[in-house]
A = this chain, B = another copy of it.
Amino acid sequence: MAEKIKGKAVVGQSGGPTMVINQSLVGVVEEARKHPEITGILGAKHGVRGIIEEKFLDFASVDQATLEAVAVTPSSALGSSRDKPDAEYCKKIFDVFRKHDVRYFYYIGGNDSADTARIVNDLAKDNNYDLQAFHVPKTIDNDLRTTDHCPGYGSAAKFVASAFMGDDQDNRALPGVKINVVMGRHAGFLTAASVLARTRDGEGPHLIYVPEVDFIEDKFLADVDAIMKKCGRCMIAVSEGIHDAQGNAITAKVAASNERDAHGNIQLSGTGALGDYLSGLIKAKLGVKRVRADTFGYLQRSFAGIYSKVDAAEARIVGQKAVEYSTQGISGSSVAMKRVGNGANYAVEYFHTDIKNVARETKPLPREFINAEGNNILDSFKDYVAPLVDVLPTVGYLF
């Protein structure tokens, strides 16, 4: 085996936070501390932005107790970034790495972050500079390719399922139509997790709309009408990313109709727009009196105290594995999981995969989990998602 590359490590967090992205961060740091060839660990503040501005936190000053407190804290403790580095930006990153003798780079994020890690890795290769660049996966959208599922998803799915469990009881108590808008611009995995709340026949969510199926308003109204006639109430899960047959996001359409307010110059584009629009549609077209819409928003990804223990443990290991693999001479890769047991025997194996198998493109919710009509999620999806969310609360019924 070749001599191990000696130098500093940089770790950063990118994109939308999750409830367990700090577990991955702590996984990276604690594993890196075990490797003498890693001579220092620098945390990039606010992702790539912190690298090019050389804003680093030296983890030498951070004790284990702080790390453990951070691990169970939602969101990105190092700060995050929405920057999407181009070639020139990546060149700056590389220059900073060279300046600080950084030989290990761990970037925790989604498919865009994977692409950043890939570009920097290629730059280093082209310059004959030894750099082990690794992508550490996270996303509540669960839309990364290759891996069975993504760290962050299980906890967000637990939040969504718990929210629907409670809200379905609320809708039973005060019947009407209730719409809940769930995160997920391109993939319906998180919205689909609402199916876990359907613990009895006839309970909600009665309708589930994901971006993998075109959203046709007339069809939607007919769906709601049918459920209202059958159940006297209707719980609906809707992905924020639903779009019409031409691929236009419904949210964008709604925002456009809202450009002017009372002052004539204020844009009313906001997170509540889609739910409010659909709710208005039902009131106007179906004449249902009690229609309410909630948009779960950032609570789905950053609610303190709710996370899946399974997800948290996996997120930690994924961070550790990135360091382990990189110190074995592997670079330009991402950590992925393979499910090797399910249900009560749920288990995963970890492996590394070339970053190009993760970067840029995303994975949609497989069609097999969506019903033929395209307005619901099949119970078979529960087998996929249930082990990831860990334990859910139970609900009791009097009738």
Contact = CB atoms under 8 A, between A and B. Distances in A.
Interface of A: 13, 16-17, 19, 22, 43, 45-46, 57, 62, 66-82, 162-163, 165-167, 169-170, 172-174, 178, 253-254, 256-258, 261-263, 265-273, 275-277, 279-281, 283-284, 292-299, 301-306, 392-399
A392 to B, nearest CB: 7
B167 A299 contact: yes
A66 B166 contact: no
A257 B267 contact: no
Contact of A267 (B46, B77, B284): B284
Contact of A393 (B81, B256, B304): B304
A70 B261 contact: no
Contacts of A62: 398
Contacts of A272: 270-273, 275-276, 293, 295
Please name the 7 residue pairs, one residue from A and one from B, whose CB atoms are nearest each other, closest first. A272-B272, A69-B396, A270-B276, A294-B297, A75-B169, A305-B393, A257-B262
A267 B292 contact: no
A301 B68 CA distance: 31
Given A269-B276, A272-B272, A396-B71, A162 B303 contact: yes
A314 to B, nearest CB: 20
A295 B298 contact: no
A82 B79 CA distance: 45
Nearest to A67: B396
B396 A299 contact: no
B173 A69 contact: no
A169 B71 contact: no
18 contacts: A16-B174, A62-B398, A66-B396, A69-B397, A74-B170, A75-B173, A81-B174, A166-B305, A170-B302, A266-B280, A267-B283, A268-B280, A270-B279, A271-B276, A271-B292, A271-B293, A272-B293, A305-B306
A74 B80 CA distance: 35
Contacts of A165: 304-305
A66 to B, nearest CB: 6
